[in-house]
Amino acid sequence: MSEQARRRPPKPYRKPRKDPVRMLAFEALRAVDERDAYANLVLPPLLKKAREGGDFDGRDAALATELVYGTLRRQGTYDAIIAACIDRPLREVDPPVLDVLALGAHQLLGTRIPTHAAVSASVELARVVLGDGRAKFVNAVLRKIARQDLDAWVAQVAPPYDEDPEDHLAVVHSHPRWVVSALWDSLGGGRAGIEDLLEADNERPEVTLVARPGRSTTEELAAATETLPGRWSPYAVRMAEGGEPGAIEAVKEGRAGVQDEGSQLVAL
Q: List the CATH number of the domain containing 215.
A: 3.30.70
Q: Is 27 in the same domain as 110?
A: yes
Instruction: Kindly state whether residue 113 falls inside one of the protein's structural domains.
Output: yes
Instruction: Kindly state whether residue 10 falls inside one of the protein's structural domains.
Output: no
Alpha carbon distance 150, 180 (integer Å):
21
Neighbours of 69 (CB within 10 A): 19
Instruction: Kindly state whether residue 151 falls inside one of the protein's structural domains.
Output: no
Residues sharing a CB contact under 8 Å with residue 255, sequence separation 6 or more, in sequence order: 211, 212, 215, 216
Region class of 254: left (phi > 0), else alpha (psi between -120 and 50), else beta: left
pLDDT recorded at residue 54? 77
pLDDT recorded at residue 206? 81
Number of domains in the chain: 3
Which one of 201, 219, 235 terminates a domain?
Answer: 201
- For 85, 165, 206, the CA distances from 169, given in Å and listed in that order, are 21, 6, 25
Instruction: Kindly state whether residue 24 falls inside one of the protein's structural domains.
Output: yes
Instruction: Kindly state whether residue 225 falls inside one of the protein's structural domains.
Output: yes
Residues sharing a CB contact under 8 Å with residue 90, sequence separation 6 or more, in sequence order: 79, 82, 83, 98
For the stretch 53-61, contacts whose Cβ atoms lie closer than 8 Å and that sit 24 or more positions apart, written own/partner, are 55/20, 56/20, 56/21, 58/225, 58/226, 58/241, 58/243, 58/244, 58/247, 59/241, 59/243, 60/20, 60/21, 61/242, 61/243, 61/244, 61/247
pLDDT recorded at residue 51? 85
Structural domain of residue 169, as residue ranges? 158-201
**3 state DSSP class of 129:** helix
* 204, amino acid identity: R
Bridge partners (DSSP) of residue 258 are 209
pLDDT recorded at residue 66? 92
Bridge partners (DSSP) of residue 211 are 256
The CATH number linked to 74 is: 1.10.940.10
Q: Is 109 in the same domain as 218?
A: no
Q: Is 126 in the same domain as 170?
A: no
Alpha carbon distance 88, 86 (integer Å):
6
pLDDT recorded at residue 101? 98
Q: Is 197 in the same domain as 250?
A: no
Instruction: Kindly state whether residue 110 falls inside one of the protein's structural domains.
Output: yes
Instruction: Kindly state whether residue 103 falls inside one of the protein's structural domains.
Output: yes
Q: Name the E strands within the chain.
A: 207-211, 227-229, 236-239, 256-258
DSSP state of 15: P
What is the chain's percent helix, strand, coil content, to nearest 5?
A: 65, 5, 30
Alpha carbon distance 127, 9 (integer Å):
22
**Contact criterion met (CB below 8 Å) for 76 and 170:** yes
Q: Is 165 in the same domain as 253?
A: no
Instruction: Kindly state whether residue 130 falls inside one of the protein's structural domains.
Output: yes
Residues sharing a CB contact under 8 Å with residue 187, sequence separation 6 or more, in sequence order: 193, 194, 197
Q: Is 118 in the same domain as 188?
A: no
Alpha carbon distance 44, 61 (integer Å):
10
Each of the 268 residues of the chain gets a pLDDT tens digit; together they read 555 556 666 666 677 778 999 999 999 999 999 999 999 889 989 998 988 887 788 789 889 999 999 999 999 999 999 999 999 999 999 999 999 999 999 999 999 999 999 999 999 999 999 999 999 999 999 999 999 999 999 999 999 999 999 999 999 999 999 999 999 888 886 777 899 899 988 888 788 999 999 999 999 998 888 888 999 999 999 987 666 787 788 998 999 989 988 998 987 7
Q: Is 171 in the same domain as 263?
A: no
Alpha carbon distance 127, 140 (integer Å):
14
Q: Is 179 in the same domain as 260?
A: no
